[in-house]
Structure 1
Amino acid sequence: MLIGRITCVITREMLRFVWIMFCLFHICIIGTHATTNRAFQSYPTTINTYENDTVLLPCYVEDQGAPPRIRWWRENSFVADSLEENRTSSERITLFKNGSLQVMHVQREDSGQYVCQAIRPSPWGHVTQVHEIEVMYPPSVETIPASGELEVNLGERVYMQCVAKGVPAPIITWRTKDEEIPLVDVRPQLSFQAENRNLSGRYTCVATNDVGDPAMAHIDLRIRYKPEIYVRKSWMHAYPGIRVQLDCTVTAWPEAKVEWYFKNETVKYTSRIVKHNDGNDHNILIRNVKISDYGLYLCRASNSLGITEKIVELSEIANPAIFKKESRCTSSTSYNFIWEVDSYSSIIEYQFWFRKYKKDSGGEWHKLYIPGNSDAVSSVHVRSFNLTGLDVATHYEAVVLSRNRYGWSHPSEILRFHTEGASIDSSENFAETDGDLEQNRIAGIPFVSMSQHYPLAADANGSMYHRVKTLSLMLSMICTLITIFDSRF
């Protein structure tokens, strides 16, 4: 019990002590605040203004019977003193007799805190009041890198930055290809992976703060990558005596060096064989084609990041047939096909291959021989063929090859078609050609592609080109003999 009473007394004394201290602290705070308010008739303020405006900072002190001495300071630097009327930090500053400070034609460097110090006679002492000037001005922006140009390798990380100035603090957004880049938050640094060369281009950062016009700066990004080659036709048909052009379109950064090779040697340009460059297009024009011009032409592009090559073959063999859109179903068991072949030499015959089609599988191929148009006078040969005896409501696919006096052509793109009543899956396109299939693996089609990529190298027995060409011709002759034997028996 005694211990309990002692504890209770101690607790009450501690609470009383805390309460007394709180009251004293509160009185001190109130007293100080009251003294400050009594000393000044003006109030601290922040003035937002624009360049070349005039600002008046008040410093009204209560009259205590004798005028106080007024001093003004800015960021700890002297500005003006009422006892030294002719001394101010700038010709644009005026100190009035009531203590107010006037700043004319304010500039950006005038921004900051201004302290008014009133020195009063005893017993009142010194009092101070703080004002602030914030000079607002339009944004400006600079890029990092400062040159506004940036290069990275394909696959590397891209970092670009804009440093903006202005009051209020500007907000930065980014644009490219006339579209704003969506960002999770507004930030001055833009970072992404250069995973696609099409990300090259101009990037613009825009700084806005609702004062004046937005500021813009540009960074031109270039992504370095090894050459990429596109050939419009990897197989070119030409008849002796005509004019033909081999196309090779090259894109690369840094810019690629492009060369053409024929029979393992650089092409020798003459008045008949002319090289023509136009931007990314690197073409060879052959006037008056000769038999010696037939073969594989290699377009090679190289830069500091690598080498890329593509083959264009010039041949007297007919171009692959193209199925026309006019092909259509003529009955529940028949389908009429129309195709077109580009060949300067007459088409002797066609091979027509067809089979039933099922997704991810196919039936056995059936082959038909169809006579050509031997009396055709144009280089474009059009043939129509009506296939009968088909099953009702069934899907099929077909391929056509053409033969002129020089041999069999490449197969056409596969045409998928169906007879009346067949259901069509939205994921499958029937009655359309499909060039993505591996057509050359169709069993029994007598075709050997000569459009292979062979390295530009020679061994002790001669050039690789001649060896490959000889092997290709031998295989073509064997396949042609097989086709003739098969047609007779």
Structure 2
Amino acid sequence: MATLGRPSLLVLLLGLLSVTADDSLVIMPSAQQRSVFEGESLFVSCSSQGKNVQRILWTGPEGNQITDYKGRIHVEEGAAAHNGVDLIFDNILRRDRGNYTCSANVDGKEVSKSFELFVDKEIDFLDTPTIQYLEEGFDSELICDITGDPEPTVTWSFEGKKISYGDKYAKVSDTSNNLIVSNVTLKDAGAYACKAVQVSPRITEMKDLSIDVKVHHKPLWNDDKTKAYSYVDGSVNLTCEVKAEPEANFTWTKDNGVIYPSDSAQIFNDNNTSILQLKVNDSRMFGDYLCIAQNKLGTLERVIILQQGEKPAVPTAKVTVEGVDRLELSIDAKNHPEMPIVGYRVQYKEAGEDWSRAQSTYFKKASIYVLENLKNDTPYVLRAASKNAAGFSDYSVEVTKRTEKIISSASTSASFSISSCVALLLFLLVSASLL
């Protein structure tokens, strides 16, 4: 094997030094690797403290010189003026990955320094729905459509507890992050979370997405109301309330005929609840009413029997205590033995106002009833109606009472001061007479 003489070896070493990195060329930040997420921005400065700096420039991963002074990737004059050049990245793309090299001739030497740019893709849940549905009685799939680079590892949780795969839960496949829930019941509804973690020598990133999961199921009764009462010329609400997903549609019938809105019947449907509001014009309106609740998964039927009851007696009402912002009431009404009074509705207004502007409060039956947050030194007019299972009575005789006046602290102080002065004067007069 041939050997190199001392002069030849020296020439070779000098040649190597002329094309390798040198402390006279500085890249900031100084890390040899940069890791950023797609869409982010970055700038890297290259400068030299050498006395004679020539031709400082940047080259990209394919060896192309970066000379543009504007654009998504461009260069700008650095803080060291002609001795420095900044490399600017705006909205970094995956294709920008690779080695970037700053080179220059510094004091007669060709020097260079490089860094490697890694472009990672942030965790993205794409179009994963935040509200999802399972089907009762079936094996159903929850979606977690996710991307990221490095590829994320995905785990699921339910009501804050990590899900373990087994008989109840399973992955769709090794290439899918979706979750299979087996033999779905109503207990499987609730708060799920899809959690994604990226781990690499360069980054660690974690994100999770909360998913509100509902279970499609047939209607189930949410109450047990099968009886109602009213009286001729009274009014009554018949209520059907269910649990259902999707929301149930309701139909009311009587004597095999569908009930439609009219002067004597109104129907209000909202949030799996239907209220049939009746004005009982005659005794023929008593009887059986059929409520039908239905969605695509099933149908429920219930008969509510409207029976004739006793109209409650008109109560007597009186004010027992007046305050500056409250009135305490005593209300009483005669009970029917089989249909006792359960409460009272009190209407009240300022004197001179129309009853259409009156406020109304319902009280369960008690011994004292208090109207609060009233104006001070103001006359109020009130009346009461009693309630039993069949409805409300007519209103009582109107009662008028004025709230008390507020006694200001200034008036109290003035009164106290005058009284004190009078007492002092009497004391002085008595003392003088004794002398």
TM interval, shorter chain, is: 0.3 to 0.5
| TM-score w.r.t. length of structure 2 | 0.43
Larger RCO of the pair (alpha carbons < 8 Å, separation 6+): 2
Would you tell me which structure has more strand in proportion to its own residues?
2
| TM-score w.r.t. length of structure 1 | 0.39
